[in-house]
């Protein structure tokens, strides 16, 4: 993986496969890692974060932080805590700075939903993850916050872009992506 970033794309079939991939990714994350999640409402950002939490070994009960903006999910073991942020309603860099994410960044894994173009200054390394539903560009979706009843098996495309020195030539990430693409 290069300083500019390397991209990879894979298809998951529903909640179970989303959790499976995210759990495996969570298992290779470490304190200081920043993940920026992008996707329309209902694309599975919180579902993805739940899988990360399983891989990190944090306390269960991950739900969307839409109304509280940020939640901390403490580790149940030796690993880092998970800081889960929803930046949807944050419009300026000052509002992001007010969250003081820098204070926990080095000791936690930080996941920011709707964080594109808002949190990149937090770290020179990050994983940018885009989740897409089939036909998402053409469909006018209802307001939903994650997989809803009836679409648990719906396919999603996960695009992952690894940026910065943390991810440069990372063998664990390369092996993970190879495994899930095959």
Looking at residue 89, the DSSP 8-state letter turns out to be T
Averaged over 76-87, what is the pLDDT? Answer: 93
pLDDT digit string, tens, across residues 99-153: 888 888 899 999 999 999 999 999 999 999 999 988 655 434 443 444 444 456 7
Tell me which of 69 and 58 has the higher pLDDT. 58
Does residue 92 surpass a pLDDT of 50?
yes
Within a 10 A sphere around the Cβ of 180, how many other Cβ atoms? 18
pLDDT at 98: 83
pLDDT at 5: 65
Secondary element (H or E) of residue 9: strand 6-13
Cα-Cα end-to-end distance for the chain: 19
pLDDT at 152: 63
pLDDT digit string, tens, across residues 13-65: 988 999 999 999 999 999 999 999 999 888 999 999 999 999 999 998 898 87
Tell me which of 169 and 135 has the higher pLDDT. 169
pLDDT at 26: 97
């Amino acid at each position: 993986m290069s300083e500019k970033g390397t991209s990879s794309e894979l298809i998951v079939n529903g909640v179970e496969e989303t959790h499976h991939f995210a759990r495996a990714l969570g298992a290779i994350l470490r304190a200081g890692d920043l993940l920026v999640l992008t996707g329309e409402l209902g694309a599975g950002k919180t579902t993805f974060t739940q899988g990360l939490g399983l891989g990190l070994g944090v306390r269960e009960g991950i739900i969307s932080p839409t109304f509280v903006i940020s939640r901390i999910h403490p580790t149940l073991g030796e690993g880092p805590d998970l800081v889960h942020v929803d930046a949807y309603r944050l419009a300026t860099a000052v509002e992001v700075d007010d969250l003081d994410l820098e204070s926990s960044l080095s000791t936690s894994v930080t996941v920011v939903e709707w964080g594109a173009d808002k949190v990149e200054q937090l770290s020179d390394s990050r994983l940018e993850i885009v989740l897409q539903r089939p036909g998402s560009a053409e469909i006018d979706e209802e307001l939903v916050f994650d997989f809803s009843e009836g679409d648990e098996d719906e396919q999603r495309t996960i695009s992952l872009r690894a940026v910065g020195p943390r991810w440069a030539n990372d063998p664990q990430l390369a092996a993970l992506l190879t495994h899930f693409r095959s």
